[in-house]
Chains A and B, each alone.
Chain A
Amino acid sequence: MSEKKTNRRDFLFTATYAVGAVGVGAVVWPMIDQMNPDASVKALASTEVDVSSLNPGKTITVLWRGKPVFIRRRTQEEIAEAKSVKLEDLKDPQKDEDRAKDPEWLVMLGVCTHLGCVPLDQKGDYNGWFCPCHGSHYDTSGRIRKGPAPTNMEIPKYEFVNANTIKIG
């Protein structure tokens, strides 16, 4: 067999393999993507909550995207406490103003950033939240102060549609 012929043969086989591999990839993708959130799940991205009956010092928990969201109407003491903390003392430094647009209202994902448990309200060493799973303490702004959790509890995208209604998402 001449060398030229070998080359052509190799090229043909390589091309066949390459084109075949592209096809396999194209078939595999739908099988993977089908497990991603579907169109109906994506559409449920926002939820509206009526907070008119919530008094200072109380928290309500609502479900958003299958996760609990804490909505707390904070007392003046809590706000003062949250604002007085020095940023150097924080594991995940963040100002309270950046977490609560309106200081009276704290809206955050009620999910411990350690491994996803739901922390308990008004527990722990910092008058905020305490995660019973592995002992993470959060302050009145939902920031991590002690324990294994790496970051503060997440603030979702939200807005006040009117004085009584918060739209999350």
Chain B
Amino acid sequence: MKNFFRILFLITLFVGFQYNSNAAEKIEYLKTDWSFKGLFGKFDRASLQRGYQVYTEVCSSCHSMKYLSYRNLAEKGGPEFTEVQAKAIAASFEVTDGPNADGDMFTRPGKLSDKFVMPYENTKAAQAANGGAYPPDMSVLVKARGGGVDYIYSLLQGYEDPPSGVTLDDGVYYNKFMYGNKIKMANQLSDGLVEYGDGTNSTVEQMSKDVTTFLMWAAEPHLESRHRMGFKAIVYLIILTILVYFSMKKIWSGIKTEV
């Protein structure tokens, strides 16, 4: 058994090492309780629905989410809008389809199977409309940033007046959580900006939390089933390990050596 502790130690060391090397340039991010962290972490449905509202009303005018479809909004483990609600959401968007029999493109109301409508035709158009800076696609944004949800959550609340001595060009803003502190996105959130259907007070903090939760789900739509399956898998493995351990002891019982 002794060897096991050594192996375990080595693995801990290795994991710690990995955390450490990622932590090399860590900034202290704002903290909040994320319901989706931990062994049994789940999304807060109401927060996801509010987050979707913030995304559509605020972010979606510049940021695309090209890997999401409207049907995802009704799927299990997500915001879980009813199918009727999701259909209504989809239908509220004009989707370009075609070519039709005459060879022309046409628009029609969105369907569940459609991908989220993009604010710009392509990257170049997005850059042109935003002073050269491309508003990144948000589908996997949480996973594409080192600090993950904490980073996004902090960034949304990190706008400040630049300290003296820092000069900003036109269209550049100061954000204490941005890498290099200079960001081309202006502060988007202000208290009461969005009117939540469920009566939640839409403070900047609340909106940041909701939209970040929504982005986390967008990046990891199967997070809940992953956690559920993970717990089952590990419990199963532990049971089997115990059984195999005793079987091993039995089998080796006639042999004089340490197992």
Contact = CB atoms under 8 A, between A and B. Distances in A.
Q: Do chains A and B touch in the complex (CB under 8 A)?
A: yes
How large, as a class, is the contact surface on chain B? 10 to 19
Interface stretch (B19-27, B130-138, B188-196, B237-245): B237-245
A20 B244 CA distance: 9
Contact of A16 (B75, B112, B240): B240
Interface stretch (A7-15, A63-71, A85-93, A113-121): A7-15
A12 B113 contact: no
B250 A9 contact: yes
B179 interface: no
Nearest to A22: B236
A22 B237 CA distance: 11
Contact of A19 (B100, B101, B112, B243): B243
A28 interface: no
Contacts of A44: 113
Interface residues of A, number: 17
A8 to B, nearest CB: 9
B71 interface: yes
**A contact face: mostly helix, strand, loop, or mixed:** helix
Interface string B100-117: 110000000000110000
Contact of B244 (A9, A16, A40, A50): A16
A40 B240 contact: no
Contacts of A9: 250
B246 A12 contact: yes
B127 interface: no
B247 interface: yes
B195 to A, nearest CB: 31
Listed from nearest, the 7 A-B pairs whose CB atoms lie closest are: A43-B113, A16-B243, A16-B247, A43-B71, A19-B240, A44-B113, A9-B250
